[in-house]
Amino acid sequence: MHPTSTLGLTSLPNPGKALNSFGALLHRVPQSARALYGRACSLDRLAEVERSNSRLEQAIATYRSVIDMADEHPDQVPLPLLRLAAEKCIERMRFRGFMGKAVRVQQRLLQRFPDDISLRNQMGVTFLLMNQPAAAKDVFKEVLEKWPEDGFAQVHYGFVLKTTYNNNTGGIEYMQKGISSGAEGTQDGRFYFHLGDALQREGKTEEAYKLYDIGVEKGLFLSRYQRSLYNVDRLRSQPLWSQEETSYQEFFRKLEQNWLIIRKEGLEALALPPQDGFRPEAENLQDTGDWKQYEIFSRGRKITANCVKTPQTCALVESFKPAAGCKRGQVKFSVMYPGTHVHAHTGPTNCRLRAHLGLLVPEGLHLRVGETNQSWAEGRVIVFDDSWEHEVWHEGDSPRLILIVDVWHPELTEEERLSLSPI
């Protein structure tokens, strides 16, 4: 949905006619800030109707003209109108991906409204959208130095401490304060997700589950164990699946029939130099030990450079569209060494199921999914829903090697599979 639809611009029944009217008015009164703002709104609405980035960029430029007019002729632009034009300009810039430009507009606006907490907080959000968490942290820290009880800044500051700096203690402190404030923008599944995760990692499991249960009551999570945030809510939910329940049993049996070939290619990839082979787990899920992966498909796309080294495995996957085309999943070899513990965690979406084909399976391996336990066997495929909380222990004495294959949830329609955004 285009952002204009949430801000009252849908009240323009004929944006093309309105655009012409505001244009005529500006021809007569070039310094009319209200007419200029009306022109921006008309372009904004047209961008939504026409689904046009070009129109949206015209709207952004016109909102900026209102801001420029306020700098050049401050007496002609009432402050409430300036504020409204700037905020809409910032939101549209974010929507279009013009994050750097949005920050510059926010900085200009803060020169006019230096004590506006909301403006400062929103600049921090823009830095997060730009993947600049250090800059966001500085903004939220400055807000809290001046307004220490601001819940929005508290929860975002704690979020950055936890997710970027692995500071669970600080993250817990500030996210708890922010969520408890009930302030607008604090009741978000991401904050409940990461606060609970930090609590679990600090050994406060009971407290974490109480928080998750509150999240379920608020509609933020599907259940206390199924805490994925990018969901299609109607999909069947259970921690473990039989091959037959997935309707993909023929593909899984083909993997099982070829498991020795797949294992051979996995071991050959494992012998590659580090720069060409397996990479350390990169999602900060590992508590102890050593855990690496070799990715061959990601977000529905084949990683050609790696498939050259594992051609038969890639060919098997490529022959099955629900795996090769799963935009919300991966296919990868995974090696785990003795002494490894993977934190309890949940995947990002309920739109996929995760299959594991055992290739090297020593004794001493444990997988918990929700409240059920599972393990691996060489040459066998197990299937579970990784949007459910799961945890892994390797208490054996030799490496575990598996092939992980994500597949679309079987209840998704073809239209949904095509339209869902990649993860």
pTM for the full predicted model: 0.90
Q: 8: pLDDT confidence band, cut at 50, 70 and 90?
A: very low
Q: Is 245 exposed, middle or buried (0-12, 13-18, 19+ CB in 10 A)?
A: middle
Instruction: Write 42-45 long-range contacts (CB < 8 A, 24+).
Output: 42/12, 42/15, 42/16, 42/18, 43/15, 43/19, 44/4, 44/9, 44/88, 44/92, 45/4, 45/9, 45/10, 45/12, 45/15, 45/18
Mean pLDDT, to the nearest integer, of 367-392? 98
Asked if 8 and 48 count as a contact pair (C-beta separation under 8 A), the reply is no
Q: Does the pLDDT of residue 6 top 70, yes or no?
A: no
Tell me, what's the pLDDT at 400? Answer: 99
DSSP state, residue 380: -
Give all strands of the β-sheet with 286-288 in edge-to-edge order: 286-288, 341-345, 390-394, 365-369, 372-374
**Rounded distance between C-alpha atoms, residue 171 and residue 88, angstroms:** 31
Q: 13: pLDDT confidence band, cut at 50, 70 and 90?
A: confident
pLDDT digits (tens, 9 = 90+) for 195-228: 999 999 999 999 999 999 999 999 999 999 999 9
Say what percent of the chain tops pLDDT 70.
Answer: 97
Name every residue whose Cβ is closer than 8 Å to that of residue 372 and which is 6 or more positions away in sequence: 239, 240
Name every residue whose Cβ is closer than 8 Å to that of residue 340 and which is 6 or more positions away in sequence: 286, 288, 289, 290, 291, 392, 393, 394
Q: 234: pLDDT confidence band, cut at 50, 70 and 90?
A: very high
Q: Does the pLDDT of residue 136 top 60, yes or no?
A: yes
For residue 365, the cross-strand partners are 394
Q: How far is CA 344 from the centre of its chain?
A: 19
Mean pLDDT, to the nearest integer, of 286-315? 98
Q: 354: pLDDT confidence band, cut at 50, 70 and 90?
A: very high
On whether the 240-419 domain is CATH 3.30.70.3340, my answer is: no
Mean pLDDT, to the nearest integer, of 354-359? 99
Q: Does the pLDDT of residue 4 top 60, yes or no?
A: no
Asked if 380 and 358 count as a contact pair (C-beta separation under 8 A), the reply is yes
Q: Does the pLDDT of residue 7 top 50, yes or no?
A: no
- CA separation (Å) from 163 to 61, 168, 342? 35, 9, 17
Closest CA to 266 of 301, 210, 310: 310
Q: Does the pLDDT of residue 9 top 50, yes or no?
A: no
User: What is the token pair recorded at 81?
Assistant: 């109108």
User: What is the token pair recorded at 263?
Assistant: 């294992």
User: In the chain, where are the structural domains located?
Assistant: 3-114, 240-419
Asked if 368 and 346 count as a contact pair (C-beta separation under 8 A), the reply is no
Tell me, what's the pLDDT at 241? Answer: 98
Tell me, what's the pLDDT at 11? Answer: 62
pLDDT digits (tens, 9 = 90+) for 63-121: 999 999 999 999 999 999 999 999 999 999 999 999 999 999 999 999 999 999 999 99
User: What is the token pair recorded at 237?
Assistant: 């939910």
User: What is the token pair recorded at 32?
Assistant: 């009319």
Tell me, what's the pLDDT at 418? Answer: 97
Mean pLDDT, to the nearest integer, of 3-8? 37
Q: Where are the alpha helices (DSSP H) in 78-132?
A: 79-96, 99-112, 117-129
Q: Does the pLDDT of residue 3 top 60, yes or no?
A: no
Domain at 3-114, CATH class: mainly alpha
